[in-house]
A and B are shown apart, each in its own frame.
Chain A
Amino acid sequence: MDPVGFCTQTRLLIVAGKGGVGKTTVSAAVARMAADAGLSTLLVDVEGKGGLPAVFGYDELLGYEETVMAPQRPGAGEIRARTLTPDDALLEYLEEHGMRRISRKLLSSGAIDVVATAVPGIKDILVLGKVKQLEQGSAIDLIVVDAPAAGHAVTFLTSASGLLDSVRVGPIRAQAQDVVDLLSNPARCQVLLVTLPEETPVNEVVETAYKLEDRVGVSLAAVVVNGLYPPRPGLDADPAEVAERQGLRLPATELEQLRAAARFRLGRAALQAEQVTRLARSLPLPQLPLPYLFTTEVGWPEVGILARALAAGVRALPIERAASSSGTVDASTVSPRP
């Protein structure tokens, strides 16, 4: 499948995964992949954290207004980003429903918290309701939502269907219905899962995948396996023997450093390979591998590398996935094997 096809299967792509797996980086890489393919992209941050703008070299936090993160380049689309926190969404909702005058007071008196408590998930629904508005209204080719971490991602995406069970009337119910319609429609919305090739993150992504599929009926696009040590052939020999064969005498400490580093990498790579296999067995979703970049901070050049790796993974996907909702896990025929 070509990246344009992948990025235009649905206008909305929600990136979900547990904390620390690189969800924000992957969101940025998807946006860059889409932009590089000529599409305009909007990144939506629902937690108001600084990680997303930092990837694009911005020190300041994002605001409620869209900010250009990467301007249009020849042959490439623009990347914009904005926040959409629950409080933002709630205020906007109240204002749109003729409650502008009392909305601030509702917030400041704490009364709104009582109601938000009485109707669980109302804030998630308002956030997703606003996302739906963006999805339907804007001229943007792809909207990438950096979802809340881990367990919260499931809550975030299941709130709407939960609310349909408990609130029977009113505009909030209508809003929840709209959100459920959006999330469960494979032509409009997909979830991209992110994990690391490690024991616990793999367990959690499998669990999350089945929960999302069962409870929301959301279409799962693929699972991104982040942080894979890039292959480096030639490390499995003993550097001492290699040196000797070449008639070289290296200091013992240096040989030991070379040997230890090689052993470490081979060991971690073997563990990662095991987890990748286990993930493939437990979760029948295509995997998109991303390399570990040996850096502690991802910036624009690194996002470029990741975007190209992502595009390569996408090109390796079978083409027929584009046409239908075959990206979903069929829970009736596949049982989880954690």
Chain B
Amino acid sequence: MSGVLDGGALEQLVFDREIVVCCGPGGVGKTTVAASLALECARRGRRACVVTIDPARRLANALGLSEVGNAPSRIDGDWPGELWALMLDTKSTFDALVTRHAASPEQADAILQNRLYRNISGVLSGTHEYMAMEKLYELHEQGRLPGSSDHEAPRFDLVVVDTPPSRNALDFVDAPRRLTRLLDNRVFRLLMVPTRAYLRAVSVATQAFLRTISKVVGAEVVTDVVAFFQAFEGMEEGFRQRAQEVHDLITSDATAFVLVASPARDAVREAAYFADKLAEAGIPTSALVVNRVHPRFVEGGSEPGGGSEGGSAGGLEGGTVATALAPFYANLAEFVDIAGREESHFATLGARVAPAPVARVPFLPADVHDLEGLAAVADELFPPPASQRA
């Protein structure tokens, strides 16, 4: 029974959880799955928001969004709930975060102008994850806190996010704490203290380190780094606290991690690695979605009519008969073969994440790139009988 959809168990994702994080190797359809989960949530009369941080903007392809932004936009459609979507603008999210934590507009300016900051906020890949977490937290909190200034903003029942492709699912979980670790770097904390007495206390290793950087990248980089840490003076606590809150939310029961994979060897290997890393961090995988599975034309994996690869027409008599039907048998045999191989791959992966439910999404008649396609994927994830849809 491995690989058989347990619709009931997948349903708790869109009913009981407040945040769903879709993670997995690149190119397996994380964005599609994330958007389909949010769409299903809206179809069940709830208010869902899907967030993507993928620089390739795949969600835009699927949802017809054209712009990145910081506020979710609502997608109209024929469903009782609400579907919102957001393509994250990493840099402006970070700018807003700095401005919020800064003690004065001058402090905010000093940071926003700093070259190190501009590099961090615009380019660094870990920053995408960090800002996604930040935005996730914001969207989750908005409308939830009594007396919140965001009372105009909708309160989402579910926020779904797809993670950017990274080596490790934990990069995502860990992202908010990475900046605080950066700010905590001892070498640079010493640099921030301007008096000579402290400079003398700077260790030999630190001096060697500074000489090293200056030699390799030029003194101006060092100046920038020091200015950056000075500008951040006094803000670390706010950042640290926020990072902790975000981390607590993401590791709480309100959040579910959905592992998305495709049934090929390399994707399965990577997905297993993701699952292991999550498990090591005490985070269970809530569901496994195996995407882009070939359809099973023959149930139970038995050979079609005795037909095997090649020219024999299923053990039937007659040479001319065989040639006319041979392509059909050969074709069917190819698909039976690949379906069997795929089955064994996701059985392995399913066992790895047990007792998490496993859902399969077969190749659909058309590539998924619009709402109709997302609805078709949602139908596969939540088969109509279980969902009691008309």
| A contacts, CB < 8 Å to B | 18-21, 24, 47, 49-51, 54, 94, 97, 99, 102, 105-106, 109-111, 113-115, 117-122, 149-152, 155, 162, 166-173, 198-201, 203-204, 207, 232-235, 239, 242-243, 245-246, 248, 250-251, 254, 257-262, 264-265, 267-268, 271, 275, 294-298
Instruction: Determine if A200 and B369 form an interchain contact, defined as CB atoms under 8 angstroms apart.
Output: yes
- Please give, as numbers and ranges, the residues of chain A lying within 8 Å of B265 by CB-CB distance: 54, 296-298
- Please give, as numbers and ranges, the residues of chain B lying within 8 Å of A152 by CB-CB distance: 125, 165
A323 to B329, CA, bound (A): 47
Q: Which residue of A lies closest to B187 (CB)?
A: A111
| B contacts, CB < 8 Å to A | 25-28, 54-56, 58, 61, 115-116, 119-120, 123-125, 164-165, 167, 181-182, 185-188, 205, 208-209, 212-213, 215-218, 220-221, 224-225, 228, 262-267, 269-270, 295, 297-298, 304-305, 314, 316, 318, 320-321, 324-332, 334-335, 337-338, 341-342, 345, 363, 365-367, 369
Instruction: Determine if B369 and A102 form an interchain contact, defined as CB atoms under 8 angstroms apart.
Output: no
Q: Which residue of B lies closest to A197 (CB)?
A: B367
Cβ-defined partner of B365 (8 Å) among A155, A170, A201, A267: A267
- Please give, as numbers and ranges, the residues of chain A lying within 8 Å of B266 by CB-CB distance: 24, 49-51, 54
- Please give, as numbers and ranges, the residues of chain A lying within 8 Å of B342 by CB-CB distance: 296
Do A20 and B28 form a contact, CB below 8 Å, given A246-B324, A257-B297, A261-B328? yes
A221 to B135, CA, bound (A): 40
Q: Which residue of B lies closest to A50 (CB)?
A: B269
Q: Which residue of B lies closest to A101 (CB)?
A: B208
A51 to B265, CA, bound (A): 9
- Please give, as numbers and ranges, the residues of chain B lying within 8 Å of A296 by CB-CB distance: 263-265, 338, 341-342, 345
Do A297 and B367 form a contact, CB below 8 Å, given A171-B216, A258-B328? no
Instruction: Determine if B316 and A232 form an interchain contact, defined as CB atoms under 8 angstroms apart.
Output: no
Instruction: Determine if B115 and A261 form an interchain contact, defined as CB atoms under 8 angstroms apart.
Output: no
- Please give, as numbers and ranges, the residues of chain A lying within 8 Å of B55 by CB-CB distance: 151
Q: List the 8 closest A-B pairs by CB distance, nearest first.
A: A20-B27, A19-B26, A19-B27, A234-B327, A297-B265, A170-B218, A120-B123, A151-B55
A139 to B165, CA, bound (A): 35
Shortest beta-carbon distance from A208 to chain B in Å? 9
Do A262 and B328 form a contact, CB below 8 Å, given A118-B221, A297-B265? yes
Pick 11 A–B contacts, CB within 8 A, sort by A. Answer: A50-B266, A102-B209, A117-B182, A155-B123, A167-B217, A167-B221, A168-B220, A172-B218, A246-B324, A246-B325, A258-B328
Instruction: Determine if A258 and B329 form an interchain contact, defined as CB atoms under 8 angstroms apart.
Output: yes
Do A102 and B367 form a contact, CB below 8 Å, given A118-B221, A199-B61? no
Do A118 and B116 form a contact, CB below 8 Å, given A155-B123, A264-B295, A296-B264? yes
A239 to B307, CA, bound (A): 14
Shortest beta-carbon distance from A174 to chain B in Å? 10
Instruction: Determine if B327 and A248 form an interchain contact, defined as CB atoms under 8 angstroms apart.
Output: no
With contacts A18-B56, A271-B366 known, what are 14 further pairs, Cβ within 8 A? A19-B165, A110-B185, A117-B124, A121-B123, A168-B218, A169-B218, A172-B217, A257-B304, A258-B325, A260-B297, A261-B332, A264-B363, A294-B335, A294-B338
Cβ-defined partner of A261 (8 Å) among B264, B335, B367: B335
Shortest beta-carbon distance from A124 to chain B in Å? 11
Shortest beta-carbon distance from B14 to chain A in Å? 24
- Please give, as numbers and ranges, the residues of chain B lying within 8 Å of A109 by CB-CB distance: 185-187, 205, 209
A233 to B337, CA, bound (A): 20
Q: Which residue of A lies closest to B327 (CB)?
A: A234
Shortest beta-carbon distance from B215 to chain A in Å? 7
Considering residues A97, A168, A294, which has the most beta carbons from chain B within 10 angstroms of its beta carbon? A294
Do A171 and B318 form a contact, CB below 8 Å, given A21-B27, A118-B225, A235-B328? no
Instruction: Determine if B367 and A198 form an interchain contact, defined as CB atoms under 8 angstroms apart.
Output: yes
Cβ-defined partner of A268 (8 Å) among B318, B326, B328, B363: B363
A20 to B291, CA, bound (A): 12
Shortest beta-carbon distance from A62 to chain B in Å? 14
- Please give, as numbers and ranges, the residues of chain A lying within 8 Å of B25 by CB-CB distance: 19-20
A121 to B119, CA, bound (A): 10
- Please give, as numbers and ranges, the residues of chain A lying within 8 Å of B26 by CB-CB distance: 18-20, 149-150
Shortest beta-carbon distance from B322 to chain A in Å? 9
- Please give, as numbers and ranges, the residues of chain A lying within 8 Å of B225 by CB-CB distance: 114-115, 118
Cβ-defined partner of B304 (8 Å) among A51, A111, A254: A254
Instruction: Determine if B328 and A105 form an interchain contact, defined as CB atoms under 8 angstroms apart.
Output: no
A68 to B102, CA, bound (A): 55
- Please give, as numbers and ranges, the residues of chain A lying within 8 Å of B341 by CB-CB distance: 295-297
Instruction: Determine if A120 and B124 form an interchain contact, defined as CB atoms under 8 angstroms apart.
Output: yes
A298 to B334, CA, bound (A): 16
A298 to B116, CA, bound (A): 43
